[in-house]
Amino acid sequence: MSYYVYILQSQTDLKYYIGSTADIAARVDYHNAGKQRSTKSRIPFILIYSEELDSKEEALFREKQIKSYKGGQAFKKLIETIDLP
């Protein structure tokens, strides 16, 4: 089963949210429905980046890695590779 790491961007404050899931579409819908307490004040979100990984463990590791980049040069470099809407 594939797992994904994703980055969402809030259209309210333009900040990012990084997470992992087995079903990206359902997870984005969950965030945008206001069901995630930590993001509900920042909806709506758009999906700007995702990576497919082979296992949940790999996805969690990659999520943690990307979160460690946040605010740093590596995160900025990753975001620069994305064609934002």
What CATH number does residue 37 fall under? 3.40.1440
Does residue 26 lie in a domain region? yes
> Based on the structure, what is the number of domains in the chain?
1
* Domain of 66, in residue numbers: 3-80
pTM: 0.86
In this prediction, residue 84 has a pLDDT band, given cuts at 50, 70 and 90, of low
Question: What does the angle CA 45 – CA 26 – CA 37 come to, to the nearest 5 degrees?
Answer: 55
Residue-wise pLDDT for 13-70, tens only, equals 999 999 999 999 999 999 999 999 989 999 999 999 999 999 999 999 999 998 888 7
Does residue 24 lie in a domain region? yes
Does residue 18 lie in a domain region? yes
Does residue 85 lie in a domain region? no
